[in-house]
Chain A
Amino acid sequence: AQTVTQSQPEMSVQEAETVTLSCTYDTSESDYYLFWYKQPPSRQMILVIRQEAYKQQNATENRFSVNFQKAAKSFSLKISDSQLGDAAMYFCAYRSAIPGANSKLTFGKGITLSVRP
């Protein structure tokens, strides 16, 4: 079974600064997808960024980028130029890409990010 670990329960960043959120995972599969979801106080789960395991190039979405280290099974999220609206809980998630496999997302416990003005 796959597991996702987010070992930092909380982090804080100064507005306009850069912060990196860590995530590690464990799997025996070679083909999979990784995601970061944001959950603001409204509780809505919002997709931030996604990465295919077969791609060496790290995904980027505006101020959000990932550092994907497949051998180390690490998938960190970097938020540049942090804004007050980035304050939320962030979840790292794994999904198998094996044909016929369960498409469910396996989530980490989440990390609460606060942004200081």
Chain B
Amino acid sequence: DARVTQTPRHKVTEMGQEVTMRCQPILGHNTVFWYRQTMMQGLELLAYFRNRAPLDDSGMPKDRFSAEMPDATLATLKIQPSEPRDSAVYFCASGRAGTYQETQYFGPGTRLLVL
């Protein structure tokens, strides 16, 4: 049963610290999405990759957030420095471009709390 995996599942850190979240997309999927879920904003896209190339990162605060795909099996989302307003659940999702509906499958999320 192929799944998207995310680590860590939970992270508590202090303001100003660097946070790195990792995602392993489903094998064979070539699109990766990072979404953030908060009570106020709901689910919103932060960044989107296809074939490891960033296609849309307009939802990401550029001064502190960065997203990369070092290889096809790993996507990372970094926050440096972290702030309390970054507290949220961060989801990674993957899909296969060009396939039927290109359905996105979500990982379990990383719950981040910045104190």
Which A residues have a C-beta under 8 Å from some C-beta of B? Answer: 33, 35, 37, 42-47, 50, 52, 91, 95, 102-105, 107-110
- Chain B's closest residue to A46 (CB) is B106
- Chain A's closest residue to B35 (CB) is A105
The answer on a CB contact under 8 Å between B42 and A95 is: no
B-side interface residues, number (CB < 8 Å): 25
Interface locus among B11-19, B69-77, B94-102: B94-102
Nearest chain A CB to B23 CB, angstrom units:
13
How far is B104's CA from A105's CA once the two chains are assembled, in angstroms?
8
How far is B50's CA from A96's CA once the two chains are assembled, in angstroms?
16
Which B residues have a C-beta under 8 Å from some C-beta of A? Answer: 31, 33, 35, 42-45, 48, 50, 55-56, 89, 91, 93, 95, 97, 101-106, 108-109, 111
Q: A43-B89, A91-B43, A109-B42 are in contact. Are A104 and B56 (CB under 8 A)?
A: yes
Nearest chain A CB to B107 CB, angstrom units:
8
Q: For B56, what are the chain A residues with a Cβ–Cβ distance below 8 Å?
A: 102, 104
How far is B28's CA from A78's CA once the two chains are assembled, in angstroms?
33
Nearest chain A CB to B16 CB, angstrom units:
26
Q: For B45, what are the chain A residues with a Cβ–Cβ distance below 8 Å?
A: 104-105
The answer on a CB contact under 8 Å between A45 and B48 is: no
Nearest chain A CB to B105 CB, angstrom units:
7
The answer on a CB contact under 8 Å between A45 and B42 is: no
The answer on a CB contact under 8 Å between B48 and A52 is: no
The residue among A42, A45, A102, A108 with the most chain B CB atoms within 10 A of its own CB is A45
The answer on a CB contact under 8 Å between A104 and B43 is: no
Q: For A95, what are the chain B residues with a Cβ–Cβ distance below 8 Å?
A: 101-102, 104
How far is B43's CA from A105's CA once the two chains are assembled, in angstroms?
9
Q: A43-B89, A43-B111, A107-B42 are in contact. List 4 more A-B contacts (CB 8 A).
A: A33-B101, A45-B93, A103-B31, A103-B102
How far is B89's CA from A50's CA once the two chains are assembled, in angstroms?
24
